[in-house]
Amino acid sequence: MKKSRLHACEIKRHRQVSPPLCAVCHRVAKCRSFRIWYHQNKDAYLNFVTDICKKFPEKYTMEVSFMAEKQTFVQIVDMTTGMIEKIVNLDEIEAMTPEEKLALSRNKNLFIVSHRLEPIVKVTMKRSVVTESIQFGDAEAEKPAEEEPKSKAKPAPTETKPRRKK
């Protein structure tokens, strides 16, 4: 039986990993808990990000960065077209029977790869340039017209007892 795993944010600002929090996080490509959560919930995350960018196109843009995953992978390349067919974990290939391995490698080149790059979509707010000067009303009109004159008398100092040395 597979245990359910709770994913917690590494920055410790948030208790759980969720699309609204991770989509705007600056550490999204480096976060280990996001990486594990992303493999299970890739569709929900991508749907959330694209919905936000479609609803508010004047405010948000999508930014793509790459998250590197370090494991031992086998890259299967078709010899006739030169295209990558798929990238499989080495443990999955070792678990196959010799017949399955032979069928997998027929007319294909197999390469051992140490890293796999996965694109991660991140939401960023659009920056706008301020071209006109901004005035926040009359600052002088807000102040009272007449101010009471302040007295120049100093307040009486409070007496303190000297400390004893031990």
The whole-angstrom separation of Cα 122 and Cα 116 is 19
Per-residue confidence (pLDDT) for residue 62, from 0 to 100: 85
Per-residue confidence (pLDDT) for residue 119, from 0 to 100: 81
Per-residue confidence (pLDDT) for residue 39, from 0 to 100: 81
Backbone angles phi, psi at 26, to 5 degrees: -80, -15
Q: How many domains does the chain have?
A: 1
The verdict on residue 77 lying in a domain is: yes
The verdict on residue 132 lying in a domain is: no
- This prediction's pTM: 0.52
> Of all helices (H) and strands (E), which one includes residue 82?
none
The verdict on residue 160 lying in a domain is: no
The verdict on residue 145 lying in a domain is: no
The verdict on residue 152 lying in a domain is: no
Task: Express each pLDDT in 121-157 by its tens digit.
Answer: 888 887 777 788 878 776 555 555 555 555 555 555 5
Please enumerate in sequence order all residues whose Cβ is within 8 A of that of 10, keeping only pairs 6 or more positions apart, or say none: 27, 31, 32, 33
The verdict on residue 159 lying in a domain is: no
Per-residue confidence (pLDDT) for residue 64, from 0 to 100: 84
The verdict on residue 11 lying in a domain is: no
| Low pLDDT (below 50) residues in the chain | none
Q: Find the domain containing 39 and state its range.
A: 19-126
The verdict on residue 96 lying in a domain is: yes
